[in-house]
Amino acid sequence: MYCPKCSQQQASEELRFCSRCGFPLAGVSTLLANDGALPHVENDAQHPGRRGRMIKESVLLTLPVWTVALLTTILWDRGGPLESVAKVGSLIFFLLGLIGLLRFLYAFLFVREASSGMPEPAFPAASSRAALPPQQNNPLTDYPRRTNTRDMAPRVSVTENTTRLLEEQRQNVDE
């Protein structure tokens, strides 16, 4: 497969991004798999999203449960054997209603609907920009060179120094 942006031949069909320019290739592989056509997406009105489904289920759970909880609290004043059953039932149905309300709030505040038929990207912020930064060439000549420390001191070898000392001793002995 070739990148549609820079025409770089890709090493593998499973690559997610172009190795040269960073272009996302997931959509390209989807198009190639479907002979250049986008796959058919079901109508969202027929199939509500996760958020709508959770809200609907929460409302269907919460309203009848709280209705039963309120009716059982009315039976508290009746007395007799139904009083203890009514108290336990109202407590259980109140907790179930609270769970339904919390689920409704969770769906309303934190669950997002998919804007299109395509699945949501794993990293939404990354989908708005290029996947990889543009290629940069930093030539080595722009970096400052390290100073050569051997040019700072005069070059004196050990053998030259030893030879000079031996010649001085020989001259001192001859004198």
Q: CA neighbours within 13 Å on the CB side: how many for 59? A: 7
- Same domain membership, residue 105 and residue 64: yes
- Same domain membership, residue 57 and residue 28: no
Instruction: Evaluate whether residue 105 is within a structural domain.
Output: yes
Instruction: Evaluate whether residue 170 is within a structural domain.
Output: no
Instruction: Evaluate whether residue 145 is within a structural domain.
Output: no
Instruction: Evaluate whether residue 15 is within a structural domain.
Output: yes
- Same domain membership, residue 54 and residue 21: no
Determine the structural domain holding residue 28 and report its residue range: 1-39
The overall pTM is greater than 0.75: no
- Same domain membership, residue 55 and residue 35: no
- The pLDDT value given to residue 131: 66
Is residue 86 within 8 A of residue 73, CB to CB? The reply is yes
Query: Tens place of pLDDT for every residue, the chain, 175 residues?
Result: 778 888 888 777 777 788 888 888 777 777 777 777 777 655 545 556 888 888 888 888 888 888 888 888 887 777 777 788 888 888 898 898 899 889 989 988 888 876 555 555 544 444 555 567 777 776 666 667 777 776 666 666 778 888 888 899 999 888 7
Instruction: Evaluate whether residue 66 is within a structural domain.
Output: yes
Instruction: Evaluate whether residue 54 is within a structural domain.
Output: yes
Instruction: Evaluate whether residue 120 is within a structural domain.
Output: no
Q: What would the pLDDT profile of 26-45 be if each residue is shown by its tens digit?
A: 777 777 777 777 776 555 45
- 25 burial type by CB count under 10 A (0-12 exposed, 13-18 middle, 19+ buried): buried
- Same domain membership, residue 58 and residue 6: no
Instruction: Evaluate whether residue 172 is within a structural domain.
Output: no
- Same domain membership, residue 55 and residue 9: no
- Same domain membership, residue 104 and residue 70: yes
Look at the chain and report how many structural domains it folds into.
Answer: 2
